[in-house]
Amino acid sequence: MIKDATSVEIDETIQKAHKAFLMYRNLGGKEKAQLLRKIADEIEALGNELISTASKESNLPEARLTGERGRTTGQLRLFASLVEEGSWVEASIDTAIPDRQPLPKPDIRKMLIPMGTIVVFGASNFPLAFSTAGGDTASALAAGCTVVVKAHPAHPETSNLVAQAIWNALEKCNLPREIFGHLHGKSADVGKNLVLHPLVKAVAFTGSFHGGKALFDLANQRKNPIPVFAEMGSINPVILLPDALKHRSESIATQFAGSITLGAGQFCTKPGILIGVENADLENFIAVLSQQITNTKPATMLYEGIAFNYDCQRRILSAQNGVKVEAEASTPADKGQGLPTLASVYATEFLKNPTLHEEVFGAFALIVKCKHQGEIQQVIQSLAGQLTATVIGEKEELLNSKDLVDALREVVGRIVFNGVPTGVEVCYSMQHGGVFPATTDSRFTSVGTGAIKRFVRPVAFQNFPDELLPSELQASNPLNIWRLVNGEWGKV
C-alpha cells in the first residue's frame, strides 16, 4: 500500500536534494547530457512492464502509452543535445573600456544559472511524458537543478518504476542518488509541505485550475515567494471561417470529431469551443460532426473521479440557458466512462454567461453560433487566457482576418492554422503555455527546449578575473558556444 510522505520524510528528501544541488549545479553540459541519455536508456530498459503497469493504472491503451514513452525518452535526449552544445545559457559579454569618458566602462558578463531544488507534481493524464521523468523533470535536470517529484496518486506504481530508472541512471553515471527525490501523497498537506519548504526554489504542475491556483497562492504566501509554473487547462477555441466550411465542411467535421474525442477528451489542448458564422454551411458542419459524435463509443477515463467530474460538468453546461445538445454517443456510458457530447449556443448567450467559458475536461465541445464575423471578434475578446487557438480557413480568408488573428495573439500561446491543436510537438520552437488562467506565467513553455528557462536565473559577473569566471564566460570561450559579445553574436 502506498503511504503519504510524512513531514519528516519531505524535509529529509528536500534537505538531501539541496545538498546534492551544491555539487550538481557545477556539472558540465556533457555530464548532464550523459545523465539525461542514461535515464532515457533505463526507461526503455523497463520494457513492457512499464507499459502494462501504466495501462492498468491509467486505463490508457498500451499503444498510446508506447508512443508516450517515446515522447518521454525523446525529450530527455533533446535536452541532452541542448545542454551538451551549451549556448542555451545565453552568455552575454560587454568588455571593459577603462579610458571611457566621463566614466570608465566595467567588464560585465552574464549567463543563466540553475535555481536550486525544484518540486514537480506528476500529471494524471500523461503518466509518463508529464510525470516522474517527464518534461518538467527533464528540463529541471538539464538546467542543473535537483528535482523532487510528487507522484500522482492515480498511477503510483508507474511512478515508482520510472523513479527507480532515474536512480539506476544516477548510479551508472556515478552521481548522488539524492539529485532526484520521489514522494507519494494523496493528502493536500503533502503538496503544501513541499511548496512551503524554504529550500524549494520553484514548482512545476500540470492539472486543474483549482489545484494549480492553490499551489500558486501557497507559494506567494511564503516569506520568500517562489515561482509556480502551473499549466491549468484551456478550452482552446477554434475559429471556423465561412469559405473553409463552404468547400470542406465534412472533412473538417471528421477531423475535429477525432480531436475532440481523442483519449476520451483528456488533453489540455482538446478543442472545447468551435466558433463560426451561422449559415447553411455551419449547419452542415454541425450535422456531420453530430453524427461522428453519435457514432463514437464512450471511453474509460483515467479514473472514476475524473469521469464523475466530467459528467457533472457536461450536464451543467448542457443545462445552461440557450444551450442545445446537438449529439451524444448512442452507446450509453458505463461507470468510469465519459459520454461524448456536442452542444451549441448562440454567441449572445455565450457572451453573457461565464459558465459557458469553463473547461470541460473530457469529450465535450460547444459550438458558438455568431451572426457575423464581428461577433466572432467579440467572442474571442471575451475569452480568458488559452493554451491554443485554431483558425480553419482558406489562405485568402486568413489574409483578410488579421483582426481575428491579432485578437487571438492576445490570449493564447500557440495559434494553429488548418489543423488540430491536440498534437504538441516536442521541439525548439514549441510554445505550450498561455495567458492566465491557462498558465500562471505566459512567458514560459512546459514543452520543448524553452522549458529549461523556467528553472534558471541570470547572474552577472563584473570585473572578475578570467580564471574565476564560469567556462561559458571566459575570454577564450573554451566551450565554443554562441555568445553575445559587445552586441554581436559569435563564437569568439
CB-based contacts of 24, cutoff 8 Å, min separation 6 = 144, 145, 146, 175, 176, 179
Nearest partner of 336 among 297, 298, 301, 296, judged by Cα = 301
CA torsion through residues 47, 132, 65, 157, sign: positive
Query: Distance (Å, rounded) from C-alpha 73 to C-alpha 134?
Result: 9
* 487: its cell numbers: 552586441
**Does 1 have pLDDT greater than 80?**
no
For the segment(s) 238-417, the CATH number from 3.40.640.10, 3.40.309.10, 3.50.50.60, 1.10.10.10 is 3.40.309.10
The answer to whether 87 touches 481, Cβ cutoff 8 Å, is yes
Buried b (16+ CB within 10 A) or exposed e, 301-334: bbbeebbebbbebbeebbeeeebeebbbbeeebe
pLDDT tier at 146, thresholds 50, 70, 90: very high
Q: What is the pLDDT of residues 267-281, one digit of tens each?
A: 999 999 999 999 999
Q: 118 - beta bridge partners? A: 147, 202
Query: Distance (Å, rounded) from C-alpha 152 to C-alpha 154?
Result: 5
Amino acid at 318: S
Question: Which pLDDT belongs to residue 425?
Answer: 96
**Does 352 have pLDDT greater than 80?**
yes
Question: Which pLDDT belongs to residue 43?
Answer: 98
Q: What is the pLDDT of residues 439-477, one digit of tens each?
A: 999 999 999 999 999 999 999 999 999 999 999 999 999
Out of 231, 326, 328, 375, the active site residue is 231
Q: 388 - beta bridge partners? A: 414
Q: What is the pLDDT of residues 58-81, one digit of tens each?
A: 999 999 999 999 999 999 999 999
In the chain, pLDDT over 70 holds for what percent of residues? 100
Beta carbons within 10 angstroms of residue 232's beta carbon:
25
Nearest partner of 438 among 470, 473, 413, 463, judged by Cα = 413
The answer to whether 331 touches 291, Cβ cutoff 8 Å, is no
CA torsion, ordered 153, 155, 159, 161, to nearest 10 deg: 140
The answer to whether 120 touches 228, Cβ cutoff 8 Å, is no
CB-based contacts of 42, cutoff 8 Å, min separation 6 = 165, 166, 168, 169, 172
Query: Distance (Å, rounded) from C-alpha 338 to C-alpha 351?
Result: 27
Amino acid at 360: V
Query: Distance (Å, rounded) from C-alpha 4 to C-alpha 373?
Result: 53
Question: Which pLDDT belongs to residue 419?
Answer: 96
**Does 421 have pLDDT greater than 80?**
yes
Q: What is the pLDDT of residues 203-227, one digit of tens each?
A: 999 999 999 999 999 999 999 999 9
**Does 362 have pLDDT greater than 90?**
yes
Question: Which pLDDT belongs to residue 381?
Answer: 95
Query: Distance (Å, rounded) from C-alpha 284 to C-alpha 85?
Result: 52
The answer to whether 314 touches 327, Cβ cutoff 8 Å, is no
Domain 7-232+443-473 has CATH 3.40.605.10: yes
Query: Distance (Å, rounded) from C-alpha 68 to C-alpha 162?
Result: 13
Q: What is the pLDDT of residues 181-200, one digit of tens each?
A: 999 999 999 999 999 999 99
- Asked about 173 being catalytic, the answer comes back as no
Nearest partner of 375 among 348, 405, 343, judged by Cα = 348
The answer to whether 370 touches 398, Cβ cutoff 8 Å, is no
* 489: its cell numbers: 553574436
**Does 302 have pLDDT greater than 80?**
yes
The answer to whether 237 touches 383, Cβ cutoff 8 Å, is yes
pLDDT tier at 30, thresholds 50, 70, 90: very high
Out of 68, 145, 268, 359, the active site residue is 268
Domain definitions of the chain by residue range: 7-232+443-473, 238-417
- What CA–CA distances, in Å, run from 483 to 65, 90, 139, 143, 458? 40, 7, 21, 18, 14
**Looking at 64-168, which runs of residues are DSSP E strands?**
92-94, 108-114, 117-121, 146-150
Helices 156-172 and 29-45 meet at what angle, rounded to 10? 130
What is the mean predicted confidence (pLDDT) over 394-420?
94
pTM: 0.96
For the chain, state the CA radius of gyration. Answer: 24
Buried b (16+ CB within 10 A) or exposed e, 448-458: bbbbbbbbbee
Nearest partner of 134 among 424, 442, 441, judged by Cα = 424
* 416 phi, psi to nearest 5 deg: -105, 135
Q: To the nearest whole number, what is the mean pLDDT of the chain?
A: 97
The answer to whether 311 touches 281, Cβ cutoff 8 Å, is no
pLDDT tier at 233, thresholds 50, 70, 90: confident
